[in-house]
Amino acid sequence: MSTRVLAKRRLVTLTLLRRESIGGLYHVLTFEDPDGSVALPGQFTMVRGAEWGDAPLLPRPMSYLSGGNTPSILIKVIGEGTVRMGRAEPGEPFTLLGPLGQPWRAPQPGRRVVLVAGGVGVAPLLFLARRLAQSGAPKPIAVYGGRSARDLPLDDELAELAELHTATEDGSRGTRGRVTDVLGELLAADQDVFTCGPDRMMAKVAELCAARDVPCEASLETPMACGYGVCLGCPVPTTDGAYVYACTQGPCIDARRVDWSRGDHAPKKGVHAPKGKS
């Protein structure tokens, strides 16, 4: 997939158009981009307040929730960066570097698309679902899980674009249990799975898919400093004993290439990771 010709990356200063608080720790930030972002579903951007000064120092990797003239991101307020983003007011300037990384590959013809999302991991999958709807593709299945009903941001939008199944650990919404319990029930050989969420969830999704020989594409989550291939801070172990760098060889990657067993690269609180978790 690395042979795809990707759009030129730009660092632009964009104005925050609006910040929607969508319950719990979640917010959608929408920016105004007069030139238009050519981001594809699955790609990400490094986001930083233009007036943050020297701290927090690093931009935050965030999957695009949408592109075009109003690119948006979904954030969960966890660390220093997202606390600031969660308080940002319209008109505030942000720098966005992007589009970065490998987008989702095209779904395989003849297979039903299944989107498996955990929490803020829904962002790149919603972007994909919207693209699929625009292209007239059959409605995908979506399996969306979180700790509780509060941890399913943008579930209403996903319900419009996909046949939605939900799971919460406390049973406050949908099936009581994990997203992978639901997936295990409905996964069929003629499907094509796209997943984004916590590492432990994606590892289990990858395992289920591999066992049933279903193709599975995962969007990787790791801390990153630069997002464009020079800091080498985002290695993810692969099954061949090497590393891929999530920023340039990912974030979207064939789940079978990832060595999930070595995954101590799960996101940790206070360490910023893609998909809006810092």
Partner 1 sequence: MSLLAVDVGGLTLKNPVLTASGCFGYGLEYDDFYDVAELGGICSKGLSLHPRAGNPPERICETPAGMLNAIGLANVGVEAFCKDKLPILRERGVTVVANIFASSVADFVAITERLNRETGVAAIELNVSCPNVTEGGIEFGKDARMAGEVTRAVRAATELPVWVKMSPEAGNIVAVARACEEAGADAITAINTIRGMSIDVEQSKLRLANRMGGFSGPALRPIALRIVWEIAAAVSIPVIAIGGISTTRDALEFLLAGARAVQVGTANFVDPSAAKRVLDGLREYCESKRIDVKSLIGSAR
Which residues in this chain contact partner 1 in the complex, by CB under 8 A? 8-11, 48, 54-59, 80, 95, 97, 222-226, 228-237, 242-243, 262, 264-265, 268-272
Q: Minimum distance between the CB of residue 160 and partner 1, rounded to whole angstroms? A: 35
Q: Minimum distance between the CB of residue 220 and partner 1, rounded to whole angstroms? A: 11
Q: Across-strand partners of 90?
A: none
Q: Minimum distance between the CB of residue 159 and partner 1, rounded to whole angstroms? A: 33
Residue 102's nearest CA partner among 63, 141, 65, 72 is: 63
Asked if 44 and 64 touch (Cβ cutoff 8 Å), the reply is yes
CA distances for 161 relative to 78, 215, 222, angstroms: 28, 21, 28
Give CA–CA dist 200/107, Å, rounded: 24
Q: Hey, is 208 helix, strand or coil?
A: helix
Q: Minimum distance between the CB of residue 51 and partner 1, rounded to whole angstroms? A: 13
Token pair recorded at residue 159: 């319900």
CA distances for 221 relative to 88, 152, 174, 208, angstroms: 24, 18, 26, 20
Q: Minimum distance between the CB of residue 79 and partner 1, rounded to whole angstroms? A: 8
Nearest residue (CB) to partner 1, 34 versus 241 = 241
Coarse DSSP helix, strand, coil percentages of the chain, rounded to the nearest 5 percent: 20, 35, 45
**Parallel, antiparallel, or unpaired: how do β-strands 216-219 and 252-254 relate?**
antiparallel
Nearest residue (CB) to partner 1, 89 versus 269 = 269
